[in-house]
Amino acid sequence: MKVSRFSAAVCMMLAVALHSFAEPGLKSDGKAGSGTSFKHIEVFVDSFEKPLAAYQFEILVKEGDAKIVGVEGGDHPAFREPPYHDPASLKSGRIIIAAFHTGKDLPHGRTRVARVHLIVKGNLNPEITVKPLAFATGAGEKFSANVIIASSKGVKNETL
């Protein structure tokens, strides 16, 4: 099977583009380089008895050399898709994450709403904080909720 020059050129341009977006310090095998590792935190919202239709919170790397590099959705079908965030905030130490669902099947109680991926340089675990910003029911009623972040280092709770 022959490969056209055009196909070969497109493949080469794609390889160059992917290489140019690679994070410094990463080896080409995708594993973290010396003193660099990938970690993630789980983010839960505890809406108690209220149906959770919308949420917004801020995640901040308070101490340590870490950058936020990705955000995944949660467990409940209402929030399974990745939440809204500014893509420009990726690779920084601060991100505001938000989501809403207009359907009837809404979670209540403690629900995992997101997984936040980090690249950490050095051997120390970074200090991560969360700031609750807003929560609402499907009827638009605002309420207070707990935001819980869990990592291998421990669990932190914050309430709005």
* pLDDT over 60 at 18, yes or no: no
**Buried b / exposed e along 75-97 (16+ C-beta atoms within 10 A):** ebebbeeebebeeebeeebebbb
> Which is higher by pLDDT, 5 or 96?
96
Q: Edge-to-edge, what's the strand order for the sheet holding 127-136?
A: 94-100, 54-63, 127-136
pTM above threshold 0.85:
no
Q: Which two tokens stand for residue 136?
A: 């609402």
Please give the distance of CA 113 from its chain centroid, rounded to a whole number.
10
Cα-flanking dihedrals φ and ψ of residue 53, to 5°?
Answer: -110, -25
pLDDT-based confidence at 33, cuts 50/70/90? low
Please give the distance of CA 84 from its chain centroid, rounded to a whole number.
10
Q: Which fold has domain 34-159?
A: Immunoglobulin-like (2.60.40)
Domain residue extents for the chain:
34-159
pLDDT digits (tens, 9 = 90+) for 65-101: 889 999 999 999 999 999 999 988 888 889 999 999 9
Q: Which of left, alpha, beta for 98 (phi over 0: left; psi -120 to 50: alpha)?
A: beta
Of 5, 12, 120, whose CA–CA distance to 20 is shortest?
12
